[in-house]
Structure formats: C-alpha cells, structure tokens
Structure 1
Amino acid sequence: MLLTHGADVILAGGKYHTPLQAAAYFYPSTLGDIAEAGADINAVGGELDTAIHAAAFRYSVDGVKLLLSRGADGRIIAGK
C-alpha cells in the first residue's frame, strides 16, 4: 500500500535503517515488491545491518532466498 502512494524505498535511518530491512524482519512477503521498487538490496545500517541479516535473524528461508536471487551479498559482515 505504501508503495502505491510513493513511499521512498531508499530512505534510511532508525532502528531498521531501510524499508527493505524492516520488511525482511516484519513482513518478508513484501520483499519482492520493495526490491522491485528500487531498494538497495545491500544497504548496511540499523540494528540488523542488512536485509539478509534481518531475514536470517527471523529464520525466513524464503526471505533469504528471495534476497539472494535479487543480488543480496551474503558475505557482508555485520558492522562493516
């Protein structure tokens, strides 16, 4: 819904850093739409560092697979 109203998927800051990272943690079913809208798959920041870290933290195998298929770098080290 937010995407249809022009939400900024690149906006960064706060606890989950980007909308993609927040989605990976709370709503993994929305990851494809947010990635398609131009989100930075490998953005680093916030409490969980990257979207793939957030998905893995929540044991979202489908989320991790989707992010990897969209080019997420699983080799990014937390805090780097």
Structure 2
Amino acid sequence: MLSPSAFFQRYPQEALFLQQNLSAQLAMGYMYDHGGVQPTLLLATLVSLASVFLCLLHAYVQREKRVSATKAS
C-alpha cells in the first residue's frame, strides 16, 4: 500500500481532486456541528452566490475580449 505522500507524488491529479472535494465536505460538516442549520445554509448560499458572480464576471470578460478583437479587425 502506498503511503499518503507517495500517493500524492504518484497521482497528483487524483490527490488534488480528493483534497478539493473533501475540504468542502469538512467545512460544511464543521459549520453544521458548531453552528447548526442556519450558519450552514448561510455559508452554502454565499458560496453559490459567489459562484454565480464569478461565472458572470468570466462571461463579461470573455465577451469584452471578443468584441474588442472584432473591432480591431
């Protein structure tokens, strides 16, 4: 069996995937254990709003690049 450090060195993408997925579950579990339902829902709402905002920001920036490239041609 591989040690954790050998696993991370041998499979860096899988290790990153596990770290990202487990950290979100641990954060939500910690928030629920120490605060209850209301802070957990607040955190989930803020994270989802941040996700939507970043998606819209990305779309705006990409659209600006496309418009400015079209005008330059």
What TM-score, normalized to structure 2?
Answer: 0.27
TM-score by length of 1: 0.25
